[in-house]
Structure 1
Amino acid sequence: MIKPWISLTIPAQAEYIDMVRLALFGFANKAGFTYEDIEDMKVAVTEACNNAVLHAYEDGQAGVIEVVFEHIEDMIHIRIKDSGESFPYNPAVNKAASLHNRPLSEANAGGLGIYLMHALMDQVEVRTELGTEVILTKRIGRKEEMA
């Protein structure tokens, strides 16, 4: 059986992120995700795309963001990749710096993107070898199973 997938390449500009959100809605809806799960995924994908727009490419440098949606069994994988400047990502440091059991006032401005992705998705992987690639995973019906 062929695994359904969609690939988009957009300019690394904020006005194109809506196209990614629209494609995600259609793809996740066909895969059987609930409206609530789709909205969570849209927020996480928007954060990943915004990070690429704001941080990957120097001012004035043209760049692109590649997005792939892949439906495998009971989950969707969303890959957001840029070829710009990467950043040192350390999952242990990010986890330790989370806001769990801490007041929101302790958050750094602009530092909530990765935190939101972790809060809204079942799995988040960040690769920073050549540019930055964020892989977001969401399972169908995960919350219902945990209840």
Structure 2
Amino acid sequence: MNQFVDYIEMEIPAKPEYVGIIRLTLSGIASRMGYTYDDIEDLKIAISEACTNAVQHSYKSEEGGEIVIGFGLYKDKLEIMIADNGKSFNFEQTKRKLGPYSASSTIDQLSEGGLGLYLIETLMDEVRVLNNSGVTVFMVKYLNGERVNHDTTISNNETN
């Protein structure tokens, strides 16, 4: 298993006005890594959709909460995790929990917010969703722009 070169984690309030900060951060990271303008735009749309979905659906308005965003920087790809339960996560451990890609669980199984996740899946090279005590969206974009796998996996795990 490749180990990331750098890892960046951010925690923001689950409010729409903070999604732009994540977009700007992602833009800087992707630019530094050498992504093309078009790939950076795709990344920004995908992360905006994931963060907006978390803002809209993860917490009751009076409850508040946080969204945690993790960026795993590799030589050949960028891995992004967005968790709406507000808890910090171990990047590698959470990635292992998501498991292998499977055609048996598809994007068609999504209900609310499914269109946003469909858009994410279209723009990214890999997408996985973990429904546990909150939702974690895992996305990968390769530097060379080649799509490795077009399947989306959705896991409903009640265990750690």
Normalising by the smaller structure, the TM-score range is: 0.7 to 0.9
Partner Cα distance (1:92, 1:59) in 2:
34
Match of 1:136 in 2: 139
CA shift at 1:131, angstroms?
0.9
Superposition TM-score, scaled by structure 2 size: 0.73
Shift of residue 52, structure 1, vs aligned partner: 0.5
Three-state SS of the structure 1 residue aligned to 2:72 is strand
> Are 1:116 and 2:125 counterparts?
no
Unaligned runs of 5+ in 2: 87-102, 148-160
Structure 2: how far apart are the matches of 1:2 and 1:44?
21
The count of corresponding residues between Structure 1 and Structure 2 is: 131
TM-score normalised per structure 1 = 0.79
Over aligned residues, Cα RMSD in angstroms? 2.7
Quick check: 2:13–2:67 contact (8 Å CA) kept in 1?
A: yes
CA-CA distance at 1:96 after TM superposition = 4.2
**Within 1, Cα distance between the matches of 2:72 and 2:54?**
20
Report how far residue 59 of structure 1 moved.
Answer: 2.3
- Name the residue aligned to 2:13: 11
Q: Please give the per-residue CA displacement for 1:3-23, whole angstroms capped at 9, x wherever unaligned.
A: 112111000000000000000
Deviation for aligned residue 1:95: 3.5
- Partner amino acid for 1:66? V
- Name the structure, 1 or 2, with higher relative contact order (CA <8 Å, separation 6+): 1
Flag as ranges the 4+ runs of structure 1 deviating above 2 A: 91-98, 108-111
* Cα offset, 1:51, TM superposition: 0.7
Aligned to 1:102: none
Q: Which runs of 5+ in 1 are unaligned?
A: 85-90, 99-107
Displacement of 1:142 in angstroms is 1.9
Q: Which amino acid aligns with 1:8?
A: M
1:127 to 130, 133, 138: 130
Question: Kindly, what percent of the aligned residue pairs are identical?
Answer: 39
| Among 55, 69, 72, the residue aligned to 1:70 | 72
Shift, 1:129, TM fit: 1.3
Alpha-carbon distance in 1 for matches of 2:41, 2:74? 20
Whether the 8 Å contact between 2:125 and 2:146 is mirrored in structure 1 is no
Write the deviation string for residues 75-121 of structure 1: whole angstroms up to 9, x where unpaired.
0001100117xxxxxx74644479xxxxxxxxx99541011011000
The corresponding residue for 1:37 is 39
